[in-house]
């Protein structure tokens, strides 16, 4: 089993901190290592060729690359060794960049020591690697697009034009999203619905798009290639097939008027309504919260389409990929109490302004003071309401509000040249093609710009006054305006939260859905086969949402166009001779992939390789093809072979969240101590209590297990299972006289690098207080019992 070890400089990213020469000579002396080299850039062509040359020359069986995170370049090196004739699974990576050199920049000596341990662990695991064959499964070529805004519409059309069938599911009665409600859009000031409307009807008429509006997703099961989706179509109380979309027959007799959500509260609609004249599908809808049941509409409808007896309908889909385009919701301006929105009628939001300026809006394009109905003569735009504002918990920039206000100010000025328009801003952010020119145009039109964050709006005798400090002159001013427009920021749509949990999507600190890589993978989620487009992953202007819709569609096409998918051979398998038929594995399996047909049997296509069954099996009859018991134990033993620091921590990190968080801590250069020796596992539930006991027996001072946040497990409930096992384990430790605090379980999402570092630091402090492993045994002088011999070795140092 000759092994080749390649220690990567990664330019200065690794070599700038770690001692490469020392690592190389260390690796050379490890058992089974036939050749060790340090390469300036192992992922470059030259680096890959060197590895391939060595495979031939030294007849290598396994390759260890000590470089960046396997989440980044594992596929690259797998391809490289495959070209040289090795099985792709004969590769092991030691993460000495994200989880070593980048996080221990100030401690080069300790970091080099840690890197040695990581390499030793990787070599120990590599010696046990087995060749595995990828399995190919048939996949559904249908795609589910969730959200019918401009991003979802674009994705659906691109997919359907490429020949894939699309199910477009929209929560509201019409598609079109926020864009359909806007008036003219920047930077060209062309009419929004005029460009979007044709796309909306194209969706409706496309033979390869099934449009499901006024619907909700209830459940999603399965994985890439075969997602089983359950949803419900809410009752419209109007038959979609019979309604002719005549717009007014039913609504004109309806006696109930309520504020229209499509006018953001400044217009009204009836209890039976069509959201707006360009709605798709053009079908009325009864609002059951407003309807009083007088049944006039039933009588008035010439097509007899109103059906009060209509029930919600469940639907089931089987799709290969899912595109999440759930969009955004406006910041609730009542949360900024100092601006009086909701109390002062002449304080409105950008979206209400959009509806007022819209020719088909409630005021037919006139900009009026809601308090009097008169044309507003002096208008103030207040920027950054609910954005760049820590007091409401949104420190991010919403990106589009500066341009939206510049645009609305221009529209007002063009329509009413006499009107005085002032924009109160912190910074004007107009970066985009043609945006700066747009800003200059606004200045030339005579729009005033005042650099100030308005501190308060007062209403005196029906007039509103803005109180602010002009930061260019340093004066505190109080200025009267007829109308104040709050540029509200964008927040993630709350209705998408359930969906996010169903799919197990992680969220960034700003609460938008997180993409797989902030630069390199802009439309992919952390979960295979799930893509995110548009404002679901953060505020975006229309052209970028459209680009993302197309990008997500292209990714889905690339994934599904062959109708089959190569799967990683990660599954569990049963040693039939050992199986005791206790059925514990059947219960713990989150994918219901195990059945006991005496003995237990694993459906390898359904198994996703979390490894909970292997950890749960009381007779160790179940093992994993990747991340096998022997391999993990070899890593544990290698990590504890030489105890180079105190406290020494063996950390098990779940592949999906906490390993990602540890990588993110690296990319964000968050510094933390070098004590942890990380072992990647697919799920925190993979951690067999015997791994923990082995680590402690061999002298580790503590064991850290990190999983996804509770409720966000990639495999449904693996982290709960891990938690339960840790709790039992703590009891065991207590019985054998060890401090139960030596094993700790923490939760962090892939976006929480900071939290990972914080938890680790806390654990280190706790272990320092406990002292080296075995201290407590000496203190209490426990008499020889069942547990003490287990820890005897560990008690040495």
Partner 1 sequence: MMDIEKEMEVEDSIIRCRQKTKGTEKVLDYDYKKCAGCSICVDLCPKKALQEGPLQEIAKGLDTPPVLIDLDSCVFCGMCVNFCPTRAFKMTVEEKPKDTETAKKASAET
Residue 293 near partner 1 by CB under 8 A: yes
Decide: helix, strand or coil at residue 382. strand
CB of 243 to partner 1, least distance (A): 10
Residue 268 near partner 1 by CB under 8 A: no
For helices 108-126 and 20-28, angle between their N-to-C axes, nearest 10 degrees: 30
Through-space distance between the first and last CA atoms of the chain, rounded to whole angstroms: 34
Residue 258 near partner 1 by CB under 8 A: no
Nearer to partner 1, 300 or 582 (CB): 300
Nearer to partner 1, 296 or 377 (CB): 296
Size of the site for partner 1 (CB under 8 A): 16
Of 398, 395, 448, 399, give the one whose Cα is nearest residue 419: 448
Nearer to partner 1, 302 or 474 (CB): 302
Binder to partner 1 among 44, 205, 252, 360 (CB under 8 A)?
A: 252
Nearer to partner 1, 96 or 251 (CB): 251
Taking a C-beta distance cutoff of 8 angstroms, is the pair 152, 211 a contact? no
Binder to partner 1 among 299, 374, 436, 793 (CB under 8 A)?
A: 299
Nearer to partner 1, 249 or 470 (CB): 249
Binder to partner 1 among 128, 162, 235, 253 (CB under 8 A)?
A: 253
State the CB neighbour count (10 A cutoff) for residue 241.
7
- How do strand 3-8 and strand 33-39 relate by DSSP bridges? parallel
Residue 259 near partner 1 by CB under 8 A: no
Binder to partner 1 among 83, 165, 296, 511 (CB under 8 A)?
A: 296
Of 103, 101, 110, give the one whose Cα is nearest residue 757: 103
Of 23, 132, 13, give the one whose Cα is nearest residue 69: 13
Nearer to partner 1, 307 or 451 (CB): 307
Binder to partner 1 among 302, 373, 474, 618 (CB under 8 A)?
A: 302
Nearer to partner 1, 234 or 296 (CB): 296
Nearer to partner 1, 252 or 501 (CB): 252
Q: Per-residue contact track with partner 1, 321 to 350, x per CB under 8 A? A: ------------------------------
Residue 249 near partner 1 by CB under 8 A: yes
- Cα distance between residue 130 and residue 655, in whole Å: 20
Q: Per-residue contact track with partner 1, 582 to 621, x per CB under 8 A? A: ----------------------------------------
Nearer to partner 1, 221 or 304 (CB): 304
**Which run of H or E residues covers position 465?**
strand 463-470
Residue 303 near partner 1 by CB under 8 A: yes
Tell me phi and psi for residue 616, to 5 degrees: -85, -30
CB of 296 to partner 1, least distance (A): 7
Sign of the CA dihedral with 461 first, then 463, 464, and 470 last: negative
Contacts of 197 (CB under 8 A, 6+ apart): 180, 278
CB of 255 to partner 1, least distance (A): 4
Cα–Cα distance list, 569 to 187, 321, 349, 602, 759 (Å): 50, 20, 53, 13, 33
Of 546, 148, 186, 184, give the one whose Cα is nearest residue 400: 186
CB of 412 to partner 1, least distance (A): 36
- Cα distance between residue 718 and residue 690, in whole Å: 17
CB of 261 to partner 1, least distance (A): 19
Nearer to partner 1, 277 or 711 (CB): 277
**Which run of H or E residues covers position 679?**
strand 676-681
CB of 248 to partner 1, least distance (A): 8
- Cα distance between residue 639 and residue 119, in whole Å: 9
Stretch that binds partner 1, among 33-41, 297-305, 420-428, 743-751 (CB under 8 A): 297-305
Nearer to partner 1, 246 or 606 (CB): 246
Residue 255 near partner 1 by CB under 8 A: yes
- Cα distance between residue 432 and residue 400, in whole Å: 11
Which residues, 229 to 248, sit near partner 1 by CB under 8 A? Answer: 244, 246, 248
- Cα distance between residue 69 and residue 101, in whole Å: 12
Nearer to partner 1, 303 or 392 (CB): 303
The answer to whether the peptide bond before residue 218 is cis (omega within 30 degrees of 0) is no
Nearer to partner 1, 302 or 373 (CB): 302
Q: Per-residue contact track with partner 1, 190 to 229, x per CB under 8 A? A: ----------------------------------------
Nearer to partner 1, 132 or 253 (CB): 253
Stretch that binds partner 1, among 20-28, 52-60, 203-211, 294-302 (CB under 8 A): 294-302
CA atoms within 13 A on the CB side of 593: 26
Nearer to partner 1, 127 or 250 (CB): 250
CB of 246 to partner 1, least distance (A): 8
CB of 289 to partner 1, least distance (A): 12
Binder to partner 1 among 84, 110, 300, 445 (CB under 8 A)?
A: 300
Per-residue tokens: 201: 């009807």
CB of 256 to partner 1, least distance (A): 7
The contacts found for 717-720 with CB under 8 angstroms, 24 or more apart, are 717/590, 718/590, 718/610, 718/612, 718/654, 718/683, 718/684, 718/685, 718/686, 719/654, 719/683, 719/684, 719/685, 719/747
Cα–Cα distance list, 436 to 189, 424, 431, 446 (Å): 14, 18, 6, 16
Q: Which residues bind partner 1 (CB under 8 A)?
A: 244, 246, 248-249, 252-253, 255-256, 292-294, 296, 299-300, 302-303
């Amino acid at each position: 089993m000759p092994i080749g070890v390649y220690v990567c400089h990664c330019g200065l990213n690794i070599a700038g901190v770690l001692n490469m020469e020392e690592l190389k000579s260390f690796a050379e002396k490890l058992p089974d290592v036939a050749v060790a080299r340090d390469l300036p850039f192992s992922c470059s062509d030259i680096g890959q060729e060197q590895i391939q040359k060595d495979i031939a020359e030294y007849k290598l069986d396994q390759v260890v690359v000590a470089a960046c995170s396997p989440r980044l370049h594992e596929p690259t090196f797998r391809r490289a060794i495959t070209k040289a004739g090795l099985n792709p699974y004969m590769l092991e990576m030691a993460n000495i960049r994200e989880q070593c050199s980048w996080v221990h920049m100030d401690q080069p000596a300790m970091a080099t020591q840690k890197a040695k341990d990581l390499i030793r662990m990787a070599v120990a695991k590599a010696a046990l690697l087995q060749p595995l064959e990828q399995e190919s499964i048939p996949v559904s070529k249908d795609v589910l697009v969730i959200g019918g805004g401009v991003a979802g519409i674009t994705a659906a059309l691109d997919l359907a034009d490429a020949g894939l069938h699309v199910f477009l599911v929209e929560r509201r009665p019409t598609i079109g999203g926020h864009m359909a409600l806007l008036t003219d859009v920047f930077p060209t000031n062309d009419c929004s619905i005029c460009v979007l409307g044709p796309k909306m009807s194209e969706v409706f008429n496309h033979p390869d798009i099934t449009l499901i509006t006024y619907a909700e997703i209830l459940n999603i099961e399965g994985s890439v290639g075969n997602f089983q989706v359950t949803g419900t179509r809410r009752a419209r109380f109007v038959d979609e097939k019979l309604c002719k979309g005549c717009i007014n027959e039913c609504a004109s007799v309806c006696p109930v008027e309520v504020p229209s959500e499509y006018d953001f509260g400044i217009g009204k609609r009836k209890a039976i309504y069509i959201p707006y004249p360009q709605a798709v599908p053009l079908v009325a809808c009864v609002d059951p919260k407003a309807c009083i049941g007088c049944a006039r509409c039933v009588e008035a409808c010439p097509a007899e389409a109103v059906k009060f007896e209509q029930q919600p309908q469940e639907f089931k889909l089987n799709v290969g990929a899912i595109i999440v385009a759930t969009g955004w919701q406006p910041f609730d301006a009542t949360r900024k109490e100092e601006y009086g929105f909701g109390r002062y009628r002449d304080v409105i939001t950008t979206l209400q302004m959009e509806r007022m300026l819209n020719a088909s809006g409630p005021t037919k394009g006139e900009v009026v003071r809601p308090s009097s109905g008169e044309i507003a003569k002096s208008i103030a735009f207040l920027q950054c309401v609910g954005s760049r504002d820590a007091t409401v918990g949104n420190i991010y920039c919403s990106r589009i509000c500066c341009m939206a206000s510049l645009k609305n100010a221009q529209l007002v000025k063009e329509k009413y040249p006499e009107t005085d328009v002032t924009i109160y801003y912190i910074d004007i952010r107009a970066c985009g093609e043609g945006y700066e020119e747009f800003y200059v145009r606004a200045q030339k039109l005579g729009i005033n710009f005042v650099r100030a964050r308005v501190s308060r709006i007062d209403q005196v005798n029906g007039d509103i006054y803005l109180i602010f400090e002009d930061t260019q002159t340093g004066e505190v001013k109080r200025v009267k305006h007829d109308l104040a427009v709050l540029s509200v920021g964008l927040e993630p749509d709350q209705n998408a939260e359930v969906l996010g949990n169903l799919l197990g999507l992680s969220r960034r600190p700003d609460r938008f859905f997180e993409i797989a890589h902030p630069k390199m993978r802009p439309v992919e989620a952390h979960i295979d086969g799930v893509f995110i487009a548009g404002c679901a992953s953060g505020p975006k202007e229309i052209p970028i949402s459209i680009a993302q819709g197309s990008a997500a569609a292209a990714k889905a096409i690339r994934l599904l166009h062959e109708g089959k998918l190569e799967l990683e051979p990660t599954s569990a398998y049963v040693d039939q001779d050992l199986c005791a038929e206790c059925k514990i594995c059947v219960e713990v399996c989150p994918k219901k992939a195990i059945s006991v047909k005496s003995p237990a049997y694993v459906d390898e296509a359904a198994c996703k390789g979390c490894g909970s069954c292997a950890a749960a099996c009381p007779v160790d009859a179940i093992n994993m093809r990747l991340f096998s018991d022997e391999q993990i134990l070899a890593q544990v033993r290698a990590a504890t072979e030489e105890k180079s620091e105190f406290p020494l921590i063996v950390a098990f990190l779940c592949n999906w969240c906490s390993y990602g968080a540890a990588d993110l801590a690296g990319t964000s250069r968050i510094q933390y101590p070098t004590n942890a020796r990380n072992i990647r596992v697919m799920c925190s539930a993979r951690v067999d209590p015997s791994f923990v006991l082995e680590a402690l027996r061999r002298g580790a001072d503590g064991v850290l297990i990190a999983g996804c946040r509770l409720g966000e497990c990639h495999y449904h409930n693996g982290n709960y299972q891990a938690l339960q096992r840790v709790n039992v384990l703590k009891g065991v430790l207590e019985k054998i006289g060890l401090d139960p605090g030596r094993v700790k379980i923490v939760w962090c999402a892939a976006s929480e690098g900071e939290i990972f570092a914080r938890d680790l630091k806390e654990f280190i402090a706790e272990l320092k207080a406990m002292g080296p492993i075995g201290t407590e045994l000496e203190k209490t002088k426990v008499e020889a019992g069942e547990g003490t011999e287990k820890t005897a070795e560990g008690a040495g140092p």
